[in-house]
């Protein structure tokens, strides 16, 4: 045996020995990497897409290429070449998909830089959506435990969609609400019912065979739908996807809402083949169990596959926090911020705790947004912005969550806990005013006392404001606050008008009704006379948007009061009978919207054997007149919108 052969044999033995030792060490190394969060995901054996394997195969060259491209896109961004950045940024995400910063950079470029360079609301919304989809659907699939990506995504929902700095923000809010209204439907107002509503989606079958196993007849239902739509295959490709849910939601709204029929949409939807198929199939009472299972299954699959959202987490957050309405952008800011803390906090080094702190701020701000504007009334067939009203059920939740984060960051360097103080002061002051306007004097005084105990004269802040009588405090704070936060005015008016119905009308106290109406009128006039009113590039008057909300609130409040099951039905009947004391048109404006929910309530309760819907809410005598007036108002809005498109700088 020559020398070369001996060297080869020795090398082979060493290689086999090393391979064996590595094989024995690998399981323990994997366990250690998982235990100490040294991987990009919680489970180190999670699969990677093909381009990750390709990038890995490039070895050290990959780092050089990524560095070059990263420097290049930063230079192009500084020059304002935002569109040119797209190709190179996309290439980086393909070569180095675990590079979380480039996903955030790429998404921000779309949602902020490119969107504002476009010329229509529709174009802007598409780019904002594109940035969100990129990070949510792709970036977070490859970096599911990266805290910063979660924080960035939460911020975009909170700032870009729910903020007011973008000229097209009203359009964003409307389209976002429409998208999620079609996806999940309208949630029940009752909190426990809302928990059960989202839990049905979380518990839905993962696959169609599982749905068939749970509810026999699901697969036959699908085949029946497929057959009904087969003649229209060229116009509509049947699939259990988001488009299916939208068509189902539209069909459901048309069949359950006489308001939609009144607006003259029946002719349009009658021509829709999908609607006719639903009429033939979904109208069959024997198929209702299969329908319920199928819809929940499709909603779950769309959430997971098309939105990268976990229905189980959506249920848990609703159960543990409050009545989340997923049609609201702040609900998604809350979801992604909370998920980021839940799955990404452990991976953040201690010297970067500020990243976790900033994410928790978004978590609290999301709940604050839901407290101020979390009750949504929305007509999916209208181009009007959804009515967004306060939801006081979040007040105690936020107070509790503040205590948690304050203690969490109390010892953080730089006064981490103290950074939340301003948030709590502003929120509790606003909540105090809302409770006072709603007639909940004891609750308002309790919050004012809490403010005094935390920040009053006997604390290191030495603030005597919270020792003022409650009515004086509310009066002083109200209009001063509108100068800095005009968007909270609808919350005050909502609370005041709720008091008008619950106390003024129901208890026969006309002075309460009169005071509430006077306050609502005073706030509206304040904004009409506001000297800072201006028109944005899309012809929308921002203060005018607030005025529009204020003018619609009375009808929205009556609608909410009438479907609030926490109010005895007899009391609601009395409120309905006396609602003309507030405005003679109100009953006509809400009748078509509330008739369906009240019919459903009567059908589900024994009291439905005593009362008919016409006894609970008799049609107002001026119903046809108000319907015609609403149609004229709708046409006028469309005409103004068309005029604004032609002359975006016209004041309106």
Asked whether the predicted pLDDT for residue 39 surpasses 60, the reply is no
Residue 47 pLDDT = 45
pLDDT digits (tens, 9 = 90+) for 245-260: 988 888 777 776 544 4
Write the burial class of residue 128 (CB in 10 Å: 0-12 exposed, 13-18 middle, 19+ buried). buried
Q: Considering only 79-88, 241-250, 258-267, which range has the smallest mean pLDDT? A: 258-267
Write the burial class of residue 347 (CB in 10 Å: 0-12 exposed, 13-18 middle, 19+ buried). middle
- Please report which confidence band the pLDDT of residue 81 belongs to, taking 50, 70 and 90 as the band edges: confident
Measure the CA dihedral 642/648/650/652, to 10°. Answer: 60
Reading the block at residue 195, the tokens are: 């928990």
pLDDT digits (tens, 9 = 90+) for 407-462: 888 888 766 777 788 888 888 988 898 888 777 888 899 999 999 998 998 888 88
Mean pLDDT across the chain, nearest whole number? 82
Asked whether the predicted pLDDT for residue 357 surpasses 70, the reply is yes
SS3 83: helix
Distance between CA atoms of 265 and 252, rounded to whole angstroms? Answer: 13
- Please report which confidence band the pLDDT of residue 587 belongs to, taking 50, 70 and 90 as the band edges: very high
Average pLDDT over residues 44-71: 56
Asked whether the predicted pLDDT for residue 537 surpasses 70, the reply is no
- Please report which confidence band the pLDDT of residue 321 belongs to, taking 50, 70 and 90 as the band edges: very high
* Whether the Cβ atoms of residue 150 and residue 359 lie closer than 8 Å to each other: yes
* Whether the Cβ atoms of residue 524 and residue 547 lie closer than 8 Å to each other: yes
Residue 644 pLDDT = 66
Domain range list for the chain: 50-144, 190-312, 485-652
Distance between CA atoms of 137 and 307, rounded to whole angstroms? Answer: 6
Distance between CA atoms of 347 and 33, rounded to whole angstroms? Answer: 12
Write the burial class of residue 163 (CB in 10 Å: 0-12 exposed, 13-18 middle, 19+ buried). middle
Residues 6+ apart with CB under 8 A from 46: none
Q: Let me know how many helices (H) and strands (E) the chain has, helices first.
A: 31, 2
Q: Which helix (H) or strand (E) holds 213?
A: helix 208-214
- Please report which confidence band the pLDDT of residue 79 belongs to, taking 50, 70 and 90 as the band edges: confident
* Whether the Cβ atoms of residue 55 and residue 97 lie closer than 8 Å to each other: yes
Residue 385 pLDDT = 78
pLDDT digits (tens, 9 = 90+) for 203-219: 999 999 999 999 999 99
Average pLDDT over residues 219-238: 81
Average pLDDT over residues 88-115: 84
Residue 222 pLDDT = 92
Residue 504 pLDDT = 85
Count other C-beta atoms under 10 Å from residue 139's C-beta: 25
- Please report which confidence band the pLDDT of residue 37 belongs to, taking 50, 70 and 90 as the band edges: very low
pLDDT digits (tens, 9 = 90+) for 360-404: 999 999 999 999 889 888 878 776 778 787 888 998 899 899 888
- Note the pTM of the prediction, 2 decimals: 0.76
pLDDT digits (tens, 9 = 90+) for 341-350: 999 999 899 8
50-144: CATH architecture: Alpha Horseshoe (1.25)
* Whether the Cβ atoms of residue 212 and residue 218 lie closer than 8 Å to each other: yes
Residue 591 pLDDT = 94
């Amino acid at each position: 045996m020559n020398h070369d052969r001996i060297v080869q044999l020795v090398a082979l033995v060493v290689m086999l020995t090393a391979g064996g030792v590595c094989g024995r060490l690998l399981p323990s190394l994997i366990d250690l990497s998982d235990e100490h969060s040294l991987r990009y995901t919680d489970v180190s054996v999670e699969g990677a897409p093909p381009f990750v394997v390709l990038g890995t195969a490039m070895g050290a060259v990959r780092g050089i290429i990524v560095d070059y491209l990263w420097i290049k896109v930063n230079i192009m961004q500084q020059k304002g070449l935002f569109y040119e950045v797209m190709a190179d940024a996309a290439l980086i995400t393909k070569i180095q998909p675990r590079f979380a910063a480039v996903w955030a950079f790429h998404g921000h470029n779309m949602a902020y830089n490119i969107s504002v360079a476009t010329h229509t609301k529709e174009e802007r919304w598409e780019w904002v959506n594109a940035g969100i989809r990129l990070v949510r659907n792709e970036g977070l699939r490859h970096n599911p435990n990266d805290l910063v990506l979660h924080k960035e995504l939460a911020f975009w929902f909170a700032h870009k969609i729910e903020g007011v700095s973008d000229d097209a923000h009203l359009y964003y809010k409307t389209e976002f609400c429409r998208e999620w209204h079609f996806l999940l439907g309208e949630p029940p107002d009752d909190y426990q019912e809302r928990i059960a509503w989202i839990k049905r989606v979380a518990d839905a079958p993962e696959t169609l065979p599982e749905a068939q196993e749970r509810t026999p007849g699901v697969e036959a239902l699908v085949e029946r739908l497929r057959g009904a739509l087969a003649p229209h295959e060229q116009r509509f490709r049947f699939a259990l996807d988001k488009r299916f849910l939208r068509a189902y939601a539209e069909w459901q709204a048309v069949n359950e809402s006489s308001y939609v029929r009144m607006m003259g949409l029946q002719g349009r939807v009658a021509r829709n083949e999908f609607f006719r198929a639903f009429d033939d199939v979904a109208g069959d009472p024997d198929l209702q169990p299969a329908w319920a299972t199928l819809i929940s299954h499709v909603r779950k699959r769309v959430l997971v596959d098309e939105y990268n959202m976990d229905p189980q987490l959506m249920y848990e957050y609703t159960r543990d926090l409050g009545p989340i309405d997923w049609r609201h952008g702040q609900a998604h800011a809350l979801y992604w911020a909370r998920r980021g803390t839940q799955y990404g906090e452990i991976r953040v080094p201690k010297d970067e705790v500020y990243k976790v702190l900033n994410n928790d701020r978004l978590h609290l701000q999301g709940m604050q947004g839901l407290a101020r504007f979390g009750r949504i009334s929305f007509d999916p067939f209208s181009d009007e912005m959804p009515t967004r009203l306060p939801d006081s059920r979040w007040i105690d939740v936020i107070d509790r969550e503040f205590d948690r984060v304050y203690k969490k960051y109390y010892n953080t360097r730089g006064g981490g806990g103290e950074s939340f103080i301003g948030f709590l002061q502003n929120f509790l002051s606003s909540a105090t005013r809302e409770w006072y306007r709603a007639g909940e004097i004891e609750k308002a005084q309790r919050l004012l006392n809490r403010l005094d105990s935390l920040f009053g004269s006997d604390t290191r802040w030495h603030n005597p404001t919270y020792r003022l009588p409650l009515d004086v405090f509310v009066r002083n704070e109200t209009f001063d606050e509108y100068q800095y936060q005009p968007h909270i005015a609808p919350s005050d008016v909502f609370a005041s008008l709720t008091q008008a119905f619950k106390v003024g009308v129901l208890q026969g106290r006309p002075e309460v009704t009169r005071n509430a109406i006077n306050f609502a009128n005073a706030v509206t006039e304040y904004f009409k006379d506001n000297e800072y009113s201006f028109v944005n590039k899309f012809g929308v008057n921002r203060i005018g948007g607030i005025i529009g909300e204020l003018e619609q609130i009375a009808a929205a409040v009556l609608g909410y009061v009438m479907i609030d099951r926490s109010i005895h039905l007899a009391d609601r009947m009395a409120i309905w009978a006396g609602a003309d004391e507030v405005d003679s048109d109100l009953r006509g404006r809400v009748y078509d919207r509330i008739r369906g929910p009240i019919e459903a309530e009567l059908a589900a309760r024994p009291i439905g054997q005593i009362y008919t819907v016409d006894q609970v809410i008799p049609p107002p005598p001026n119903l046809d007149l108000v319907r015609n007036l609403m149609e004229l108002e709708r046409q006028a809005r469309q005409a103004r919108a068309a005029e604004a498109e032609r002359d975006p700088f016209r004041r309106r």
